[in-house]
């Protein structure tokens, strides 16, 4: 009841905010761009991105604390300056461009002097995103966070290799971060995915932000939808910006009204649209009923009524013990497919591979070899190159809790054949639930195991090759065995 009451109170604030005037606000921003990394290849755009965002925010009334190519000590100093300067602010904004990584679901920002040769370095060489968020959310206000830090990160791969069997804790990109009340967190791409640095002066994400941030009276939630559309178009859908929002009112970077000039009254349709945009993801029937009372007519009222019926139906169905609830709580994506893929069924699992090397004499290299229990056979991918981007997919007959994977790397028929063919160095494990796990393999034909306890609910999983140990004679990459343990 307390949660519903809070939601209703927040909705009331939203409904009464539409006819107000734009008041003078204290706006403070911390903008960081790290390009000149000392121990990995530098990034081209973060410095440009941060400078462009700083200029735009200054023109929009923000006091900007800017940092370019910061060491850890400098980044901590800037973060402290931001925490002190933003006290009492109406709006606090944090923008970061550069390398970042996730370990055990926690996000870390990488200063330019970071090296990460050991897991302990996380505490002494990086800055935790949670530290920044915790200081921002100490005050009840509008907090905005923009992270263009999901770039492909060699630092994460270095750390994963040093962690051995614990390398599964190092994820790709950044992890999903929950926002506190009044906070919006925007990622350049989906959690667990990698964003592009871009070919122009700015990254695709920052280019889109700059395109829309000065649009008059554009609410930030609607702005992020436009940013998402622009980035998807610019990257051919390879990058999809994502945000998590707990904002309780509207916010526009540029308001047409100032303290002496009232904003034009908003039409009922426009007010309903903005209100619906703020609550469309709610799962609270009470909030939807409040919306319907406030806006009883029109298309958005119809949306709310439809959502309310859907929630009430789900409540009735949830009372039926059809499946364990933990297996119904996640929306699972449709399984990927490839033209010419090869599949083999093993009990209630189907093993599929993206390509197969053509048979040579009596030797076949198909998906069935992955589960025949013999090291003398193997799956060998069949694309030109060394197999980077090729994959194995395991599909289950139902959603399962995947406990572990056991893999025998390379063509383990003999030491000579093992050395001649390429072997997998880095794998990315994608689960249908949307989770992604990085696995660095040793260059050995002995069985290797990764455990997925706590992260392994899946209708299917895909192992995608990121890098290989080159063969002494052949470019083709091989895997001899793959075993999946699932409940």
pLDDT tens digit sequence for 280-333: 666 667 777 777 877 777 767 777 787 777 766 655 444 444 444 344 455 677
pLDDT in tens, 25-64: 899 999 999 999 888 778 888 999 999 999 999 999 999 9
Task: Say if residue 231 is in the same domain as residue 348.
Answer: no
Residue 311 lies in a domain: no
Task: Say if residue 352 is in the same domain as residue 477.
Answer: yes
Rounded to the nearest integer, the mean pLDDT of the chain is 79
Which of 245, 272, 306 terminates a domain? The answer is 245
Residue 190: pLDDT band by 50, 70, 90 thresholds?
A: confident
CATH of the domain at 411: 2.60.120.260
The answer to whether residue 186 scores a pLDDT higher than 60 is: yes
Q: CA 98, CA 76: separation in Å to the nearest integer?
A: 16
pLDDT score for 115: 82
Task: Say if residue 197 is in the same domain as residue 67.
Answer: yes
Residue 366 lies in a domain: yes
Residue 27 lies in a domain: yes
Residue 143 lies in a domain: yes
Quote the pTM value: 0.51
Residue 216 lies in a domain: yes
- Own/partner contacts of 103-106, CB < 8 Å, gap of 24 or more, are 103/159, 103/169, 103/170, 103/171, 104/169, 105/171, 105/175, 106/130, 106/175
**Least confident interval from 103-112, 215-224, 423-432:** 103-112
Task: Say if residue 87 is in the same domain as residue 226.
Answer: yes
CATH of the domain at 237: 3.40.50.1460
Axis crossing angle, helix 268-279 with helix 285-294, rounded to the nearest 10:
180
pLDDT in tens, 147-173: 998 555 555 454 444 444 333 334 455
Task: Say if residue 221 is in the same domain as residue 357.
Answer: no
The parent domain of residue 71 ranges over 20-245
In this prediction, what percent of the chain has a pLDDT beyond 90? 29
Q: Tell me which of 166 and 447 has the higher pLDDT.
A: 447
**Counted domains in the chain:** 2
Which of 192, 223, 245 terminates a domain? The answer is 245
What's the mean pLDDT in 344-357?
A: 88
What's the mean pLDDT in 199-205?
A: 84
pLDDT score for 201: 84
Residue 151 lies in a domain: yes
The backbone region for 305, taken as left when phi is positive above 0, alpha when psi lies in -120 to 50, beta otherwise, is alpha
Residue 270 lies in a domain: no
Which of 245, 273, 308 terminates a domain? The answer is 245
pLDDT score for 271: 64
Residue 454: pLDDT band by 50, 70, 90 thresholds?
A: low
Which residues fall within 8 angstroms of residue 260, CB to CB, at 6 or more apart? none
pLDDT score for 274: 63
- Residue 126, φ and ψ in degrees, nearest 5: -115, 175
Residue 299 lies in a domain: no
């Amino acid at each position: 009841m307390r949660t519903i009451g809070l939601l209703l109170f927040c909705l009331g604030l939203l409904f009464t905010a539409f006819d107000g005037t734009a008041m003078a606000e204290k706006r403070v921003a911390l903008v960081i761009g790290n390009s000149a990394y000392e121990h990995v290849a530098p990034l081209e755009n973060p410095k440009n991105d941060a400078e462009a965002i700083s200029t735009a925010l200054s023109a929009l009334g923000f006091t900007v604390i800017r940092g370019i190519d910061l060491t850890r000590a400098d980044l901590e100093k800037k973060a402290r300056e931001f925490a002190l300067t933003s006290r009492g602010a109406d709006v606090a904004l944090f923008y970061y461009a550069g390398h970042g990584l996730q370990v055990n679901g926690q996000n870390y920002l990488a200063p330019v002097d970071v090296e990460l040769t050991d897991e302990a370095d996380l505490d002494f060489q990086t800055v935790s995103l949670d530290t920044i968020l915790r200081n921002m959310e100490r005050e009840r206000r509008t907090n905005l966070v923009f992270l263009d830090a999901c770039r492909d990160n060699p630092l994460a791969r270095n750390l994963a290799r040093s962690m051995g069997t614990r390398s599964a804790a190092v994820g790709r990109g950044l992890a999903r971060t929950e926002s506190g009340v009044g906070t919006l967190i925007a990622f350049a791409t989906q959690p667990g995915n990698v964003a592009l640095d871009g070919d122009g002066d700015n990254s695709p994400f920052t280019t889109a932000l700059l395109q829309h941030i000065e649009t008059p009276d554009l609410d930030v939630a609607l702005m992020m939808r436009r940013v998402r559309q622009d980035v998807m178009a610019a990257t051919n859908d390879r990058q999809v910006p994502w945000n998590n929002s707990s904002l309780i009112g509207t916010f526009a970077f540029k308001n047409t009204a100032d303290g002496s000039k009232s904003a034009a009254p908003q039409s009922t349709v426009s007010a309903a649209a903005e209100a619906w945009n703020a609550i469309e993801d709610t799962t609270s029937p009470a909030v939807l009923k409040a919306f319907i009372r406030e806006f009883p007519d029109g298309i958005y009222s119809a949306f709310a009524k439809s959502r309310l019926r859907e929630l009430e139906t789900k409540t009735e169905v949830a009372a039926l013990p059809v499946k364990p609830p933990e297996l119904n709580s996640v929306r699972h994506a449709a399984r990927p497919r490839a033209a010419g893929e090869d599949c083999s069924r093993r009990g209630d699992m189907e093993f599929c591979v993206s390509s197969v090397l053509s048979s040579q004499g009596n030797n076949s290299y198909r998906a069935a070899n992955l589960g025949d229990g013999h090291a003398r056979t193997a799956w060998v991918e069949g694309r030109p190159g060394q197999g980077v981007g090729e994959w194995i997919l395991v599909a289950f007959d139902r959603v399962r809790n995947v406990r572990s994977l056991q893999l025998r790397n390379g063509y383990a028929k003999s030491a000579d054949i093992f050395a001649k063919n390429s072997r997998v160095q880095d794998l990315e494990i994608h689960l249908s639930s949307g989770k992604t796990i990085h696995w660095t393999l040793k260059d050995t034909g002995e069985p290797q195991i990764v455990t997925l306890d706590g992260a392994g609910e899946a209708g299917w999983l895909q192992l995608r090759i990121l890098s290989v140990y080159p063969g002494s004679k052949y470019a083709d990459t091989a895997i001899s065995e793959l075993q999946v343990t699932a409940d």
